[in-house]
Amino acid sequence: MIELHGALSRVVCLGCGARFERAAVHDRLLRDNPGWLDRVVPIAPDGDSELDAADLAQFRVVDCEACGAPLKPDVVFFGGSVPSEVVSSAYALVDDAKALLVVGSSLAVYSGFRFVLRAVNRGLPVALVNVGSTRADRFALQARIEDRAGTVLPRLVESLSKRNGG
């Protein structure tokens, strides 16, 4: 399995590259900003909230515990590049695979879609699990499941476990 665009469960330092569990950074934020979660602010439809300047001025951002540099979620943002070592690992996995399963991606950007093309060029079956259409729907001749990953994957694991006698 490759988390091509990273994972929100981790945070990465922009200075030294150290990675931390997001939950630990969250705990540090709460410790350094007591009462922050007690504030009641309306949440906009996109999940954002408007905060006044006084509240923001009081907020303390935590930095990397190793070097003091800023932290960010360990994900590739739009306009960013997937690290070359991740791309190489993903290509190697596709080249050694018997099938490709894409979970939770519209494949709208080439950074993920290229692996589907590689699988198709190698004659591998492609299966998709996603809510909504994907750029690779025309290649998912074996399976195209329109559902949430959190619903499908546990059922898949259970089915495979039964098939393998586990």
Catalytic residues: 5
The structure tokens listed for 131 are 């809510």
User: Which SS3 state, helix, strand or coil, does residue 145 take?
Assistant: strand
Alpha carbon distance 91, 85 (integer Å): 10
Closest CA to 4 of 146, 118, 121: 118
Picking from 100, 103, 105, the residue whose alpha carbon sits closest to that of residue 134 is: 105
